[in-house]
C-alpha cells in the first residue's frame, strides 16, 4: 500500500512538472500585460516557495534513503548540492532545517503552504528549535518584515531561550568562523562571526587605524565610505603584525602563492589581448600586484616561457617541485569534474610501482575523499587528461570495462 501511494505521488509530480515546464517553455515576457506581470511573477514565486518547501521537507528523507552513498558522495548534503545545482553549504542548511522541522509542526505547515522561502525557513527553524513556543510568532514575523529583521528576531529568540549567558557565549564561540571566498566577479571576500569580546578586540585594533586613514583621505580630498577605510585598516593591521613578527624571528612561510603571468606581460608591465595574470585559486591580479608579490612573499612564478616539465621523467615516487607547480597551475582543483576542492593530493594515474617513474602526464590531483574512492573502492577517472568524469567500478566508462580492441 505504501509503495502504491508513493508511485501515485510520483506520477502526480511528473504531470505537474510537465505542466509547469510547458508553461515556462512558452513564456515570452513581452507577451505578459504590464498590468498583470507582477501578479504573474508572484504566482511563479509561490510555485517556487511550494517547491522549495517540499524539497526542504524531503531532504532528511533523501539522507535516509542513502542514494548519496551509492553515488560516491561524501555526504547527503554534497549529493543534494549536486542534484540541486547549489553549494554544499546551502544544501547542508536545507538538510539541517529538514531535520529540525520534523519536531516543528507550525513551521512544517508553513512550508507546505508556501508561506516561507527556503532562506526564511532556515532562520525560523533554527530559532524555533531553541524555543518551540515561538514558532507561530516567527512565521508571522516572516510574513510582515524583511529577511534582515527576521534573522535579527531569530537570533534574539535563540538568546532568550538560553537564560545562561555563559552558555550562550560558549555556543557563539563554538560557532565562531572566518571564511574567505572569491565571488564570481573576482573579488575576495571575508566573512567573520564570533563573540562580542573577541570581535571587539579586532574592532579596537582597527579603530585608530580607521581614524588615521580617514584623516589622511580627508586632507587629500578623498571621500569614501567608512567600510572602505575599515578594509584598508585591516590590511594595515596585518602588515604591522607581519613587520613586528619579522623583527622577532626569521619568517617561516605558511603557504605558497602561485602566479601565472605571460613573460612578455611581466616585462611590459601590462597584459594585452587575451593575456592573463592571476593568482591560482584566487583570481586575476594586475601585473603590478604580481611584481609586488615578488618582493613580499614566498612565490613560485610560472612564466609561459619557463621550463618545459611536460616531458621530464622523475625516478622518485613523488613529483618534483617543477612538476608540482605545473600541476598547481594546470589542475589546481580535484581532477573529478564534479568536485571543486583545491586542497588536493597528487596521485599516479597508473600505479608508480608498475614503472617506478613520475611523469607529469601520469599525475592527477585528487581531494582526500576522491583519492580514497580511487585507492580503496575502485573508482577511476575516465580516459583522457585534465578534469574529467570520475566513475565507480561498475560504470561502462570505467577504464577496466573498456572492450578489447
Q: Where are the domains of the chain?
A: 37-161, 197-248, 257-303, 313-401
For 388, which DSSP code? B
CB-CB contact of 118 with 94 (8 Å): yes
Q: Where are the alpha helices (DSSP H) in 220-282?
A: 226-248, 263-268
CB-CB contact of 348 with 362 (8 Å): yes
Q: Which residues does 142 contact at the CB level (< 8 Å), separation at least 6?
A: 110, 115, 116, 120, 123, 124, 150
pLDDT averaged per 10 residues in sequence order, the chain, 405 residues: 54 88 91 93 92 91 89 88 86 92 94 91 93 93 86 82 72 88 85 84 86 90 89 88 52 55 76 69 66 58 53 51 64 79 72 57 80 90 85 90 75
Q: Where are the alpha helices (DSSP H) in 26-177?
A: 34-65, 67-70, 76-84, 88-101, 105-112, 118-130, 135-144, 147-160, 165-174
DSSP 3-state of 309: coil
Burial of 360 (0-12, 13-18, 19+ CB in 10 A): buried
- Residue listed under C-alpha cell 593591521: 237
Taking phi over 0 as left and psi of -120 to 50 as alpha, with beta for the rest, 98 belongs to alpha
Torsion of CA 270, 271, 277, 282, to 10 degrees: 90
CA-to-CA distance for 268 and 346, rounded, in angstroms? Answer: 35
pLDDT for res 70: 86
Q: Where are the alpha helices (DSSP H) in 295-367?
A: 321-330, 352-355
pLDDT for res 323: 62
pLDDT for res 135: 93
- Output the nine-digit C-alpha cell for 18: 510537465
pLDDT for res 201: 82
Spatial CA neighbour of 147 closest among 107, 104, 110, 118: 118
CA max distance for the chain = 79
CA-to-CA distance for 243 and 234, rounded, in angstroms? Answer: 14
For 360, which DSSP code? G
- Output the nine-digit C-alpha cell for 54: 517540499
Backbone angles phi, psi at 55, to 5 degrees: -65, -40
pLDDT for res 171: 81
pLDDT for res 1: 44
Q: Which residues does 392 contact at the CB level (< 8 Å), separation at least 6?
A: 72, 377, 378, 379, 398
Q: Strand 283-284 and strand 313-314: pairing?
A: unpaired
Spatial CA neighbour of 182 closest among 173, 194, 193, 191: 191
Signed CA dihedral, 268, 270, 275, 279: sign only: positive
pLDDT for res 251: 45
pLDDT for res 351: 62
pTM for the whole thing? Answer: 0.62
For 30, which DSSP code? G
CA-to-CA distance for 258 and 255, rounded, in angstroms? Answer: 10
Amino acid at each position: 500500500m505504501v509503495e502504491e501511494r508513493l508511485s501515485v505521488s510520483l506520477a502526480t509530480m511528473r504531470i505537474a512538472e510537465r505542466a509547469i515546464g510547458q508553461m515556462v517553455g512558452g513564456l515570452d515576457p513581452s507577451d505578459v500585460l504590464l498590468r498583470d506581470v507582477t501578479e504573474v511573477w508572484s504566482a511563479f514565486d509561490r510555485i517556487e516557495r511550494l517547491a522549495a518547501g517540499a524539497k526542504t521537507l524531503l531532504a532528511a528523507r533523501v539522507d535516509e534513503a542513502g542514494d548519496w552513498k551509492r553515488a560516491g558522495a561524501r555526504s547527503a548534503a554534497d549529493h543534494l548540492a549536486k542534484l540541486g545545482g547549489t553549494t554544499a553549504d546551502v544544501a547542508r542548511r536545507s538538510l539541517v532545517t529538514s531535520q529540525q522541522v520534523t519536531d516543528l509542526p507550525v513551521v512544517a505547515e508553513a512550508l507546505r503552504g508556501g508561506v516561507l522561502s527556503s532562506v526564511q525557513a532556515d532562520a525560523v527553524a533554527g530559532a524555533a528549535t531553541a524555543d518551540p513556543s515561538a514558532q507561530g510568532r516567527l512565521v508571522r514575523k516572516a510574513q510582515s518584515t524583511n529577511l534582515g529583521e527576521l534573522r535579527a528576531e531569530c537570533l534574539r529568540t535563540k538568546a532568550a531561550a538560553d537564560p545562561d549567558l555563559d552558555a550562550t557565549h560558549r555556543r557563539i564561540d563554538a560557532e565562531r568562523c572566518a571564511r574567505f571566498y572569491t565571488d564570481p566577479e573576482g573579488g575576495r571576500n571575508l566573512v567573520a562571526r564570533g563573540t562580542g569580546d573577541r570581535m571587539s578586540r579586532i574592532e579596537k585594533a582597527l579603530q585608530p587605524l580607521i581614524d588615521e586613514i580617514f584623516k589622511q583621505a580627508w586632507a587629500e580630498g578623498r571621500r569614501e565610505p567608512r567600510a572602505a577605510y575599515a578594509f584598508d585598516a585591516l590590511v594595515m593591521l596585518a602588515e604591522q603584525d607581519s613587520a613586528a613578527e619579522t623583527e622577532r624571528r626569521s619568517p617561516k612561510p605558511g603557504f605558497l602563492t602561485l602566479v601565472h603571468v605571460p613573460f612578455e606581460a611581466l616585462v611590459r608591465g601590462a597584459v594585452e589581448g587575451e593575456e592573463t595574470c592571476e593568482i591560482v585559486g584566487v583570481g586575476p591580479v594586475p601585473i603590478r600586484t604580481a611584481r609586488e608579490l615578488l618582493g613580499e612573499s614566498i612565490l613560485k612564478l610560472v612564466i609561459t616561457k619557463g621550463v618545459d616539465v611536460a616531458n621530464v621523467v622523475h625516478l622518485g615516487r613523488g613529483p618534483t617541485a617543477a612538476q608540482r607547480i605545473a600541476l598547481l597551475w594546470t589542475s589546481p582543483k580535484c581532477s573529478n569534474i564534479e568536485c571543486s576542492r583545491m586542497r588536493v593530493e597528487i596521485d599516479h594515474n597508473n600505479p608508480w610501482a608498475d614503472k617506478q617513474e613520475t611523469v607529469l602526464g601520469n599525475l592527477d590531483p585528487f581531494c582526500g575523499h576522491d583519492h580514497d574512492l580511487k585507492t580503496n573502492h575502485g573508482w577511476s577517472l575516465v580516459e583522457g587528461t585534465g578534469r574529467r568524469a570520475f566513475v565507480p567500478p561498475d560504470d561502462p566508462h570505467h577504464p577496466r570495462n573498456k572492450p578489447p580492441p
